[in-house]
Amino acid sequence: MQALRSAFIALSHNRTLRRFLEHSSLGVRLSSRFIAGLTMEDALRVAAEVNRQGIAVTLDSLGESVTSEAEARRAAEVYHQLLEAIAARSIEANVSVKLTQMGLELSAGLAESIAGSLVEHARSLGNFVRIDMEDSRLTQVTLNIVRRLHRFHAGAIGVVIQSYLYRSEADIEQLLADGIRVRLCKGAYNEPASVAFPRKGEVDANYARLSRQLLQSPVYHALATHDPAMIDAAKDFARRHGIAPDHFEFQMLYGVRRDLQRTLVRDGYRVRVYVPFGSEWYPYFMRRLAERPANVLFLLRNYFRS
């Protein structure tokens, strides 16, 4: 299973396959289970549909490392337009942003400036920006930027922490001390054993431990998982400690475990779905397959059935 995961992570960097799939009807059709569409209008339409099921949304304009400041500013402009459209249409949604898309690998200062303008815009509209976490090379610089922006825009910015990293417990302790909102996930990059737990059981155990830290915090946090065992453990811990269901939310990916999303809503829990869109969907798509290789069979069955 680990070998298959590593293979999909490697494929996520394959430029030839990426060019073919992102520009072919086959690729667009395969990706449609996990990607809301290629345009902002597609994403807003899907967000409204998800809202009608009692589920909130976080919107992600797909794209990662940019090669120029102009590209970074164009990527940010999409998010500025998204924030305005969310407000104008009264959609229950916030946005998720990768700092490499804002120019982090060109200049940390550039990324901080561009992201800062987005967070300021979101705060003016009563909205929120979640800074996605990328591979472990960028963990510290990402956290540094989030902490600095939080000082000026408290409540309008949060970050993602990955339970497969050894450092995550200490990072969460610092974020809680700062009052910064956290989305906890397991992690979707291929990390070495020097920085990340190599075995699934260890990742799961750390996820459960970090979940308990977050649930006991006075700050509103998000638990991102499709694992019923992790969800049940969080629900049980919350019940035993008198933590209200509206004190936190479960987050899931668009197209994954829709049945579980509906069940949680029916049982009175808050749920938010991560809805990605855009033409640069290939790396995201491959990481979803790497997280759960059984998704490959699921996609193929549905492709040929349809």
User: Which residue, chain included where needed, has tokens 């610089």?
Assistant: 141
Tell me whether residue 43 is exposed, middle or buried, using C-beta atoms within 10 angstroms of its C-beta: 0 to 12, 13 to 18, 19 or more.
buried
Q: What single-letter amino acid sits at 87?
A: A
Instruction: Provide the β-strand partners of residue 274.
Output: 58, 253
Amino acid at 223: L
SS3 content of the chain, % helix, strand, coil (to 5): 55, 15, 30
The one catalytic residue in 130, 181, 183, 272 is 183
Alpha carbon distance 219, 214 (integer Å): 8
Distance of alpha carbon 65 from alpha carbon 98, whole angstroms: 9
Return the DSSP state at 234: H
Look up 183 and say whether it is catalytic: yes
> Among residues 4, 2, 26, which one has the least CA distance to residue 286?
4
Residue 73 is a catalytic residue: no
Catalytic entry in 18, 60, 132, 288: 132
User: Measured at the alpha carbon of residue 283, what is the angle toward residues 282 and 284, in degrees to the nearest 5?
Assistant: 90
How deeply is 226 buried, as exposed, middle or buried, from its count of CB atoms within 10 A (0-12, 13-18, 19+)?
middle
The residue to which tokens 């967070």 are assigned: 119
Question: Which residues carry out catalysis?
Answer: 132, 183
